[in-house]
Amino acid sequence: MKKSWKAAALVFATVMLTACGSKADTNQTNDTAVSAQPQQTEESATTDKTSEADVQEAVPETGGTLTFGTNAEFPPFEYVASSGVIDQYDGIDMAIAKNIAEQNGMTAAVENMEFDSLLVALQNGQIDAAIAGMTVTEERKEKADFSIPYYTATQVMIVKEDSDIASASDMADKKICVIQGYTGEICVKDLGYPYEAFKKGTDAIMELVNGKCDVVVIDSATAQKYVFDNDGLKIVEDASAFASEEYAIAVKKGNTELLDKINKTVEAMLADGTVAELGAQYIEAISAE
Ligand code: GLN
């Protein structure tokens, strides 16, 4: 069954560093590439204050490999395909990662791991950068430095088509599913509702499809993919409960050299419309499967 796909509208984004709960940004319910000239965010500034003493190899040499960590369970940002832009990995983030490496004279490689492991992998030098539709939060900023944001999203609720859930507060007496470590989990926790956390988005969706839970809270673009793939589901938005979130690329704390290179490429890709184009292209691609 072919479902209609609502392309993401382009709106200007406000930098929000809380994962959820703020009502300051209620008009931002559509996900989108951020504005072409993003503001320099605080996190770039804070990196200057961090000691660089513990950075082993800030940037791989020219001709070397720039290793990105991701969790390839998050279409349209990263997923496994028969052939992807970096090995079998495809998606908006993978295309951005490849471009960052190439623009800086390197080759991109991907290490696929659990979302929860990404910041640890950065800290121990297993990966050079993490690109995973990762929302910038105050807590994560304590563990890593973040690039300028490249995408604005929000949490949404996926429910069965006949569900009576119309707002976040309607979840109070329902069975809620989230994905472990995602901002969706943080949001539901902040709302104070009990929930069950799954390792993978697809597992949470199966619970919903099989009637074992009533609602899945997850990022908007990924939610649209799941609703497209599974009959009988719909998305419910609640901008007063879920603030907009900013996706950015994480590097090890203090690695300003790599961060500057990443920021230059991301800034150029935002300014010339590449990120917005990639968004449209991959949303189209995953909804035509
Ligand atoms: N944006 C969400 C977060 O940062 C989910 C990211 C993901 O699953 N890849 O937690």
6-25+154-236 against 34-151+247-287: fold identical = yes
The CATH class given to the 6-25+154-236 domain equals: alpha beta
Expressed in angstroms and rounded, the spacing between residue 179 Cα and the centre of ligand 1 is 9
Pairing of the two strands 144-146 and 151-160: unpaired
Coil, helix or strand at residue 93: helix
pLDDT score at 218: 98
pLDDT score at 287: 75
- Contact present, 103 and 149 (Cβ < 8 Å): no
pLDDT score at 18: 54
Nearest of 101, 81, 103 to residue 90 by alpha carbon: 81
pLDDT score at 164: 97
Is residue 28 over pLDDT 80? no
pLDDT score at 157: 98
pLDDT in tens, 135-170: 999 999 999 999 999 999 999 999 999 999 999 999
Pairing of the two strands 129-130 and 65-70: parallel
Atom of ligand 1 nearest to the CA of 247: 1
* Lining residues, ligand 1, CB within 6 Å: 71, 74, 115, 132-135, 182-183, 219
Atom of ligand 1 nearest to the CA of 134: 4
Which of 73, 134, 146, 185, when mutated, tests ligand 1's pocket best, judged by the most ligand atoms within 8 Å of its CB?
Answer: 134
Cα–Cα distance measured from residue 127 to residue 110, given in angstroms and rounded to the nearest whole number: 9
- Contact present, 184 and 158 (Cβ < 8 Å): no
Which of 117, 180, 183, when mutated, tests ligand 1's pocket best, judged by the most ligand atoms within 8 Å of its CB?
Answer: 183
Q: For domain 34-151+247-287, is the CATH number 3.40.190.10?
A: yes
Give the lowest-confidence range in 36-45, 171-180, 272-281.
Answer: 36-45
Expressed in angstroms and rounded, the spacing between residue 74 Cα and the centre of ligand 1 is 8
Cα–Cα distance measured from residue 129 to residue 123, given in angstroms and rounded to the nearest whole number: 10
pLDDT score at 62: 81
Angstrom CA distances, 192 to 172, 189, 286, stand at 9, 5, 34
Q: How many CB atoms lie within 10 A of CB 284?
A: 12
Segment holding 217, helix H or strand E = strand 215-219
Angstrom CA distances, 78 to 109, 121, 133, stand at 13, 18, 8
Expressed in angstroms and rounded, the spacing between residue 264 Cα and the centre of ligand 1 is 23
pLDDT score at 50: 43
Nearest CA residue ID for atom 5, ligand 1: 182
User: Whole-prediction pTM value?
Assistant: 0.84
Which of 20, 94, 177, 182, when mutated, tests ligand 1's pocket best, judged by the most ligand atoms within 8 Å of its CB?
Answer: 182
Tokens coding 39:
């503001």
pLDDT in tens, 65-101: 999 999 999 999 999 999 999 999 999 999 999 999 9
**Could you tell me which residues come within 8 angstroms of residue 264 by beta carbon, excluding any fewer than 6 positions away?**
103
265 vs 31, residue with greater confidence: 265
pLDDT score at 61: 85
Is residue 49 over pLDDT 80? no
**How far is it between the farthest Cα atoms of the chain?**
57
User: Residues in the chain, how many?
Assistant: 289
Nearest CA residue ID for atom 10, ligand 1: 182
Is residue 231 over pLDDT 50? yes
Is residue 173 over pLDDT 90? yes
Nearest of 271, 240, 266, 229 to residue 251 by alpha carbon: 266
Expressed in angstroms and rounded, the spacing between residue 231 Cα and the centre of ligand 1 is 24
Expressed in angstroms and rounded, the spacing between residue 248 Cα and the centre of ligand 1 is 10
Cα–Cα distance measured from residue 203 to residue 195, given in angstroms and rounded to the nearest whole number: 14
> For residue 76, is the peptide bond before it cis, meaning its omega torsion is within 30 degrees of 0?
yes
Expressed in angstroms and rounded, the spacing between residue 63 Cα and the centre of ligand 1 is 31
Nearest of 89, 69, 66 to residue 79 by alpha carbon: 89
Q: What does the angle CA 257 – CA 91 – CA 45 come to, to the nearest 5 degrees?
A: 25
Rounded mean pLDDT, 41-46:
44
Give the lowest-confidence range in 8-17, 31-40, 68-77.
Answer: 8-17
The domain segmentation of the chain, as residue ranges, is: 6-25+154-236, 34-151+247-287
Expressed in angstroms and rounded, the spacing between residue 174 Cα and the centre of ligand 1 is 23
pLDDT in tens, 194-219: 999 999 999 999 999 999 999 999 99
Place of tokens 């300028």: 148
pLDDT score at 63: 80
